[in-house]
């Protein structure tokens, strides 16, 4: 199929998709009239690489907005764990399916999930054509009651049944998993070459408790246990909000991935001074996530991207930090790198995993699309998409393989 009148990197083009790949991008020589975007004018689109939600608990669509106003620890104890105890495998399947639909409608086609009953999530995600990683969330008792053992036993069968998704363990955090079990999970990650998905340094309390119990902050604690030696680029640390210089250096040295979840962190009052520039410059692959719907209330990556960019400008008193183009790279390419998914930037030969932005909408009204300065046009369209639009400008028809 060929999609006409699409802006690709600031140039008008027709994109042909065959067998799940972009086979041809034919840049147009024709003039666009009118010379500025007019919602009533000819239909125009922009193609954008689909985004990757790098930390979520999909089935938490069932617990949307639960316990609003409570900080993380009491929120977990009072609002989340009692509700989760009542969920069946079928509930989790339905909740995950809703989550995938919600993510698709806002331009996201891949995720890194963390929950229990992973077969339910795998089934929902594969039915919706999702890619990425589904991780079994485990705490200490799961190492004793056979859940981790079952994971190992079922690993091959599930990997064969759901070949478009990867499967891994997710030790919940340093405060719910003992040093011994963290080491064991890291060894399994090494042995099976799977991802290692964990909440890390989400709150100041987590950091202070870790120092009190083990004498060092969470990242140093994991390093001392040898976790990074075993996991390296398979390590995905969600939140990573309360870090010092030494911890950033450790994460960079091992080429780890971290996931910023700005809306969830703000809603739970966990903090907002995410050290984006420092982590990036140290060699950490910084990615973006929404977290589950109980804390971020929606799964809208466009909204998360906007919050992330604005927070960086605000905390550094510098509007040039994290511009739109870099923010979209964090939200898509960086996540795909962490999940080992193929490049979905819009070029010939790449997988066709992109969404279309409807430019005949108010946020794009008046953008000059005349002339040969493609970079200027591209930057302006990206700025409008990130800072002015909502995800309702995203067309849900997509072309992923």
Q: Report the residue number, 142 or 291, with the smaller CB distance to Zn ion.
A: 291
Rounding to the nearest 10 degrees, give the CA dihedral for residues 299, 303, 309, 314.
Answer: -110
Q: Report the residue number, 113 or 353, with the smaller CB distance to Zn ion.
A: 113
Q: Report the residue number, 240 or 377, with the smaller CB distance to Zn ion.
A: 240
Residues 150-179 that bind Zn ion (CB under 5 A): none
DSSP characters over 321-368: SS-HHHHHHHHTHHHHHHTTPPP-SSSTTSB--EEEEE-SSGGGTT-B
- Number of alpha carbons in the 13 Å side-chain half-sphere of residue 323: 8
Pairing of strands 354-358, 45-49: antiparallel
CB of 261 to Zn ion, least distance (A): 7
CB of 199 to Zn ion, least distance (A): 5
| 44 vs 63: CA distance, rounded Å | 38
Using the structure block, give the residue that is written with the tokens 């905390």: 315
What is the SS3 assignment for 172?
A: coil
Select the span of 149-157, 266-274, 288-296, 308-316 touching Zn ion (CB under 5 A). Answer: 288-296
11-18: strand order across its sheet: 21-27, 11-18, 2-8, 45-49, 354-358, 394-395
Select the span of 242-250, 275-283, 287-295, 377-385 touching Zn ion (CB under 5 A). Answer: 287-295
Q: Report the residue number, 57 or 254, with the smaller CB distance to Zn ion.
A: 57
Select the span of 26-34, 105-113, 178-186, 283-291 touching Zn ion (CB under 5 A). Answer: 283-291
CB of 19 to Zn ion, least distance (A): 36
Element (H, E) at 119: helix 118-127
| 284 vs 255: CA distance, rounded Å | 5
Select the span of 97-105, 136-144, 274-282, 290-298 touching Zn ion (CB under 5 A). Answer: 290-298
Any idea how long the chain is? 401
How many residues bind Zn ion (CB under 5 A)? The answer is 1
> Tokens at residue 328, please?
């979209």
CB of 304 to Zn ion, least distance (A): 13
Residue nearest to Zn ion (CB): 291
| 44 vs 356: CA distance, rounded Å | 10
x/- binding map, residues 291-310, to Zn ion, per CB under 5 A?
x-------------------
Q: Report the residue number, 236 or 311, with the smaller CB distance to Zn ion.
A: 236
Q: Report the residue number, 291 or 297, with the smaller CB distance to Zn ion.
A: 291
Positions that interact with Zn ion (CB under 5 A) = 291
């Amino acid at each position: 199929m060929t999609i006409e009148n699409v802006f690709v990197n600031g140039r008008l083009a027709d994109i042909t998709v065959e067998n799940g790949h972009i086979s041809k991008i034919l840049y147009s020589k024709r003039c666009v009239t009118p010379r500025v975007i007019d919602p009533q004018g000819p239909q125009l689109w922009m193609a954008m690489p689909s985004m990757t939600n790098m930390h979520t608990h999909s089935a938490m669509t069932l617990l949307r907005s639960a316990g609003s106003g409570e900080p993380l620890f009491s929120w977990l104890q009072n609002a989340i764990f009692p509700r989760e105890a009542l969920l069946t495998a079928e509930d989790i399947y339905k909740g995950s399916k809703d989550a995938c639909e919600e993510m698709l409608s806002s331009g996201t086609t891949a995720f890194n999930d963390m929950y229990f009953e992973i077969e339910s999530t795998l089934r929902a995600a594969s039915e919706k054509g999702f890619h990425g990683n589904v991780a079994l969330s485990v705490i200490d008792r799961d190492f004793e009651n056979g859940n981790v053992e079952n994971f190992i036993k079922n690993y091959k069968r599930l990997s064969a049944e759901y070949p478009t998704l990867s499967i891994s363990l997710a030790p919940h955090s340093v405060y719910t998993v003992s040093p011994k079990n963290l080491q064991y999970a890291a060894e399994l990650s090494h042995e099976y070459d799977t991802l290692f998905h964990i909440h890390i340094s989400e709150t100041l309390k987590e950091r202070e408790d870790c120092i009190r119990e083990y004498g060092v902050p969470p990242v140093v604690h994991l390093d001392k246990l040898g976790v990074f030696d075993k996991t390296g680029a398979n390590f995905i640390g969600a939140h990573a909000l309360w870090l010092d210089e030494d911890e950033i250096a450790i994460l960079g040295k091992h080429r780890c991935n971290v996931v910023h979840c700005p809306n969830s962190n703000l809603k739970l009052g966990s903090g907002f001074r995410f050290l984006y520039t420092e982590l990036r410059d140290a060699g950490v692959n910084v990615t973006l996530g929404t977290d589950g719907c109980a804390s971020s209330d929606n799964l809208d990556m466009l909204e998360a991207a906007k919050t992330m960019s604005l927070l960086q400008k605000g905390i550094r008193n510098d509007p040039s930090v994290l511009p739109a183009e870099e923010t979209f790279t964090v939200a898509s390419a960086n996540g795909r790198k962490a999940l080992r998914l193929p490049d979905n930037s819009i070029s010939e030969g790449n997988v066709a995993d992109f969404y279309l932005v409807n430019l005949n909408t108010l946020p794009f009204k008046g953008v000059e699309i005349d002339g040969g300065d493609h970079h200027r046009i591209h930057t302006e369209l990206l700025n409008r998409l990130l800072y002015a639009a909502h995800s309702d400008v995203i067309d849900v028809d997509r072309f992923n393989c």
